[in-house]
């Protein structure tokens, strides 16, 4: 039984995949599988940061704001100045090379996460409010800088990570797999990774046994910020155009994927591999609904339903495990 | 005086523990009836049975000459029995009036709450109880004794016949205590009976008419307080020493490991002075309200230190947080294992190695084999059962969980261990194991400071015992002249 619970999400994933393969022609074709994976790649990278926060019994709602502002700033720094039209804007005109812009993006993202962490761990503010407010602040600045307009035409070398291919395999897929492997190893096999889980499991005990719980909380938010910026890089590279509302709705999907994948909202429980399964499940469903040309308004309803289902299973699991 | 509640031959068995064996007590009207006994003597079990929260295996409950069958909390409350827990549960942010009426706020004919009426009625009720409290202020603005009086008033206003008070004075000072006692005596005159549970024996003499003594789940009879004195009461409370661990060798090492000089944190502990020698087992005995918990947590750096001097092996020990203390060789065992001792859902091995992650890792990469070696070593040394280092800690018994935490402390290789109630919530066999572990640690030259209220166990394991009472250390005993009565008297008596 415990085995079933542990790998439940994978069974669901396989069952869903087989179902759709039978229902939809071409669903299981290599091209479509590639599409599914590309669709899940941004989510897949962001879910790692969110899962780390959840492991430590925290939550990062600011990630999508982070994506928005770092992509706007990146485009702004890279694009040539141009006359602003109604819908389109140019950059700052400095035309920095991607090799400078990417580190700036990643540093800024980390910095925003770091500020979240400082306010939550050291100032003692509520994580929900801090990160929600941060999301609004960051997105707001994104609109201010871009004047609400799109900035098209990011340079090719920048776009490689989001749109390029290596040996015929799209870069986002390769990147997602590498980042996942690194962080999976990190959580399971390093002392800090383990401390993150301990802090989430019982923060008082963690403190008593000599773990610096504040530093751990700061750390997870900084990593979440870094990964959001990294995901922003892929997303901007894929679109080649900065849009200030980029990443809208990502937060909910990221949290949903983590929860569906068995990362407990109560902290200290779950694995990144589970979260990955959650991402894949959402990606499969998105893709299938697309292929079946389901009304996009339905997509949200279905997604919400799946999240509810995942939470019900999580609650039942607790009850079941308590009984044995 | 008329009988109101009679408990006849009540027995209750929990797995591995006979909590009560044929206890009989009779409570009368207009009576304040004290119940005393050490931790685990069966006081809470008895009260839970009276409240219908747990059922007795045997025996009967008779209320006003009617036998109560299959008592449930609801039936007992309807009969007029109210339980006032030590930690009061009230709607803290709401007003006194709302707490008083709870779901029964006076409404007008449209079903809308008539607030004028609410406060008027509440004020009238309060003044009829002799309480001078404004019913508009919120409960959190009241002092603890006012809250206790409010709860008692509410019980009286809702026609309670018997009010059970579980250590109502645990956090109060003398003046506040005497206010409550005066109030309780007033209510007694109205015909209310009180059952008064307390660790402070002096209070029994101050307020109770009768007292029933519980020892190891058995009743030592009900006595008129006027016929007792404190020495005789303590004598009645001594239980038998059933197969408990006895220290083998006493230590004779005069090298000071910890020196505490004039440590003072106002309101918690004052002018604390003591030393621990190498390999010594020093006990500090005190009641929950003595400031002992705070002293231990402050020594470990979990809490503020206040002023004074602490030296560890001759050097100033100024740690402000646990991780720092641990680095300097001080380990700590908490008294609430479930609250902040266990790392839930994690394996035995992870729980043992959590404080020494640098020992199981290279450049912060964890080596599973090193971790396993440390865990297996401790499993063998401490006889942890089952010996499965991958098993989740929640699935072990209380005694084995405690051993695992001892393993966690031992692998730090500390110079000093601070232990709070090390045998709390474990069965007799595990207790003996744990004391054997403690003695073995002391033979490894680790100094051990145990804070406990289990005098009998402390007498068997310690080299010396210091007694803490009302925030001060009041008396010291060496193992040659340990005496249960003297130590207990010292813990209970007012020294000021």
User: The tokens of B134 are what?
Assistant: 């404004």
**CA B107 to each of CA B11, B94, B113, B116, B159: distance values in angstroms, whole numbers, following the listed order:** 47, 18, 4, 10, 22
Q: Coil, helix or strand for B281?
A: strand
Pairwise CA distance, residues B259 & B102, whole Å: 53
Contacts of B298 (CB under 8 A, 6+ apart): B263, B265, B268, B269, B304, B305, B306
**Which one of A272-281, A291-300, A314-323, B31-40 scores highest in mean pLDDT?**
A272-281
Contacts of B319 (CB under 8 A, 6+ apart): B300, B301, B325, B328, B330
ipTM of the complex model: 0.78
In the predicted structure, residue A85 carries a pLDDT above the cut 80: no
Domain B256-492 has CATH 3.40.50.300: yes
Pairwise CA distance, residues A290 & A261, whole Å: 22
DSSP state of B336: -
Contacts of A87 (CB under 8 A, 6+ apart): A149, A150
Pairwise CA distance, residues B153 & B101, whole Å: 11
Other C-beta atoms lying within 10 Å of the C-beta of residue A83: 7
The structural domains of chain A, with segments of one domain joined by +, span 36-246
Chain B residues closer than 8 Å to A202 by CB: 340, 342-344
Q: Quick check: B455 and B484 in contact, CB under 8 A?
A: yes
Q: What band does A136 get if pLDDT is binned at 50, 70 and 90?
A: very high
The structural domains of chain B, with segments of one domain joined by +, span 3-237, 256-492
Q: If you measure CA to CA, which chain B residue comes closest to A270? A: B345
In the predicted structure, residue B208 carries a pLDDT above the cut 90: yes
Pairwise CA distance, residues B435 & B422, whole Å: 9
Q: If you measure CA to CA, which chain B residue comes closest to A204? A: B340
Per-residue b/e over B308-338, b at no fewer than 16 CB within 10 Å? Answer: bebbbbeeebebeebbbbbebbbbbbbbebe
- Helix A272-291 crosses helix A171-189 at what angle (to 10 degrees)? 150
**pTM summary value:** 0.81
Q: For residue range B355-393, what is the model confidence (pLDDT) as tens digits?
A: 998 889 888 899 999 999 999 999 999 988 888 888 888
Nearest to A71 by CA among A172, A164, A154: A154
Q: What is the DSSP annotation of A30-65?
A: HHHHHHHHHHHHHHHHHHHHHHHHHHTT-----HHH
B65 and chain A in contact, CB less than 8 A = no
Q: For residue range B158-182, what is the model confidence (pLDDT) as tens digits?
A: 889 999 998 888 777 778 888 889 9
The mean of the pLDDT values for chain A is: 88
Other C-beta atoms lying within 10 Å of the C-beta of residue B144: 15
B338 and chain A in contact, CB less than 8 A = no
B358 and chain A in contact, CB less than 8 A = yes
Nearest to A68 by CA among A234, A245, A223, A249: A245
Q: What band does A234 get if pLDDT is binned at 50, 70 and 90?
A: very high
Per-residue b/e over B92-120, b at no fewer than 16 CB within 10 Å? Answer: eeebbbbbbbeeebbeeeeeeeeeeebbe
% pLDDT > 70, chain B:
98
Specify the pLDDT at position B243: 54
Q: What band does B212 get if pLDDT is binned at 50, 70 and 90?
A: very high
Nearest to A222 by CA among A111, A300, A119: A111
User: The tokens of A257 are what?
Assistant: 């994927």
B366 and chain A in contact, CB less than 8 A = yes
Chain A residues closer than 8 Å to B325 by CB: 210
Q: For residue range B31-67, what is the model confidence (pLDDT) as tens digits?
A: 999 999 877 788 888 999 999 888 899 999 999 989 9
Per-residue b/e over B15-40, b at no fewer than 16 CB within 10 Å? Answer: eeeebbbebebbbebebbbbbbbbeb
Best probe of the B interface among A197, A200, A209, by most B CBs < 10 A, is: A209
Chain B residues closer than 8 Å to A209 by CB: 322, 326, 343, 354-355, 408
Q: What is the DSSP annotation of B207-230?
A: H-SEEEEEETTEEEEEEEGGG--H
Give the side-chain half-sphere CA count within 13 A for B297: 16
User: The tokens of B297 are what?
Assistant: 């947590």
Specify the pLDDT at position A94: 77
The mean of the pLDDT values for chain B is: 88
Nearest by CB to residue B357, choosing from A191, A204, A268, is: A191
Q: For residue range A187-217, what is the model confidence (pLDDT) as tens digits?
A: 989 999 999 999 998 888 998 998 999 999 9
User: The tokens of A174 are what?
Assistant: 């390769």
* Class of the domain covering B3-237: alpha beta
**The two domains B3-237 and B256-492 share their CATH topology (first three levels equal):** yes
What distance in Å separates residue B341's CA from the closest CA in chain A?
5
Nearest to B247 by CA among B454, B38, B443: B443
């Amino acid at each position: 039984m415990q085995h079933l619970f542990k790998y439940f999400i994978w069974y669901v994933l396989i069952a869903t995949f087989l179902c759709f393969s039978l229902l939809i022609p071409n669903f299981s074709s290599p091209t479509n599988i590639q599409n599914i994976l590309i669709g899940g790649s941004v989510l897949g990278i962001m879910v790692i940061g969110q899962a780390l926060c959840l492991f430590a019994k925290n939550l990062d709602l600011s990630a999508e704001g982070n994506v928005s502002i770092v992509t706007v700033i990146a485009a702004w720094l890279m694009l040539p100045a141009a006359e602003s039209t109604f819908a389109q804007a140019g950059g700052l005109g400095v035309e920095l090379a991607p090799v400078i812009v990417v580190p700036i993006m990643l540093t800024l993202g980390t910095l925003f996460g770091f500020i979240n962490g400082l306010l939550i761990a050291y100032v003692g503010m509520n994580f929900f409010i801090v990160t929600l407010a941060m999301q609004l602040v960051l997105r707001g600045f994104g609109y201010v800088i871009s004047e609400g307009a799109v900035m098209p035409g990011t340079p090719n070398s920048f776009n490689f990570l989001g749109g390029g291919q290596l040996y015929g395999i799209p870069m986002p897929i390769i990147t997602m797999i590498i980042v996942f492997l690194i962080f999976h190893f990190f959580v399971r096999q390093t002392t800090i990774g383990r401390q993150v889980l301990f802090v989430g499991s019982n923060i008082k005990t963690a403190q008593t046994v000599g773990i610096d719980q504040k530093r751990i909380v700061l750390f997870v938010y900084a990593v979440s910020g870094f990964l959001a910026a990294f995901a922003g890089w892929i997303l901007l590279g894929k679109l080649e155009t900065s849009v200030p509302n980029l990443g809208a709705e990502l937060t909910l999907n990221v949290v949903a994927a983590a929860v569906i994948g068995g990362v407990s909202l109560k902290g200290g429980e779950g694995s990144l591999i589970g979260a990955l399964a959650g991402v894949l499940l959402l990606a499969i469903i998105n893709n299938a609904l697309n292929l079946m040309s389901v009304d996009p308004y339905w997509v949200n309803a279905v997604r919400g339903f799946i999240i509810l289902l995942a939470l019900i299973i999580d609650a039942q699991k607790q009850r079941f495990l308590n009984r044995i | 005086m008329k009988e109101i509640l009679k408990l006849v031959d009540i027995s209750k068995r929990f797995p591995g523990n006979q909590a009560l064996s044929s206890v009989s007590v009779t409570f009368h009207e207009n009576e304040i009836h004290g119940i005393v006994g050490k931790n685990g003597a069966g006081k809470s079990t008895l009260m839970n049975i009276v409240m219908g929260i747990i059922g007795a295996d045997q025996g009967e409950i008779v209320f006003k000459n009617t036998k109560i069958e299959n008592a449930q909390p609801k039936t007992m409350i309807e009969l007029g029995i109210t339980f006032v827990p030590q930690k009061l549960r009230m709607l803290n942010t709401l007003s006194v009036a709302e707490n008083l009426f709870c779901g029964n706020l006076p409404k007008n004919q449209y079903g809308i709450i008539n607030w004028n009426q609410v406060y008027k009625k509440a004020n009238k009720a309060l003044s009829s109880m002799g309480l001078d409290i404004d019913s508009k202020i919120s409960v959190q603005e009241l002092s603890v004794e006012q809250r206790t009086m409010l709860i008692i008033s509410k019980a009286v206003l809702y026609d309670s016949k018997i009010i059970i008070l579980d250590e109502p004075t645990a956090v109060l000072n003398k003046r506040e205590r005497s206010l409550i006692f005066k109030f309780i005596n007033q209510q007694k005159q109205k015909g209310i009976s009180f059952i008064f549970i307390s660790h402070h024996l002096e209070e029994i003499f101050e307020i109770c008419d009768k007292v029933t003594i519980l020892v190891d789940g058995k009743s030592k009879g009900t006595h008129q307080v006027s016929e007792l004195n404190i020495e005789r009461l303590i004598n009645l409370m001594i239980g038998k020493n059933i197969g408990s661990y006895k220290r083998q060798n006493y230590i004779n090492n005069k090298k000071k490991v910890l020196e505490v000089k004039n440590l003072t944190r106002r309101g918690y502990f004052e002018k604390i002075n003591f030393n621990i020698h190498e390999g010594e087992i020093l006990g500090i005995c005190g009641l929950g309200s003595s400031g002992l918990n705070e002293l231990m947590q402050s020594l470990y750096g979990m809490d503020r230190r206040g002023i004074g001097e602490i030296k560890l092996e001759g050097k100033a020990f100024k740690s402000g947080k646990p991780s720092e203390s641990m680095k300097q060789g001080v380990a700590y065992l908490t008294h609430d294992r479930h609250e902040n001792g266990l790392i839930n859902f994690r394996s035995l091995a992870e729980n043992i190695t959590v404080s020494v992650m640098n020992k199981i890792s290279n450049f912060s990469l964890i080596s599973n084999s090193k971790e396993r070696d440390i865990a297996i070593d401790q499993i063998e040394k401490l006889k942890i059962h089952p010996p499965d280092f991958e098993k989740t800690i929640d699935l072990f018994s209380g005694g084995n969980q405690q051993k695992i935490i001892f393993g966690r402390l031992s692998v730090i290789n500390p110079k000093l261990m601070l232990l709070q109630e090390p045998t709390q919530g474990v069965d007799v066999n595990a207790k003996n194991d744990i004391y054997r572990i403690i003695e073995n640690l002391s033979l490894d030259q680790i100094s051990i400071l145990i804070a406990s209220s289990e005098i009998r166990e402390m007498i068997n394991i310690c080299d010396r015992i210091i007694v803490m009472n009302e925030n001060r250390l009041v008396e010291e005993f060496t193992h040659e002249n340990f005496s249960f009565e003297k130590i207990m008297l010292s813990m209970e008596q007012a020294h000021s």
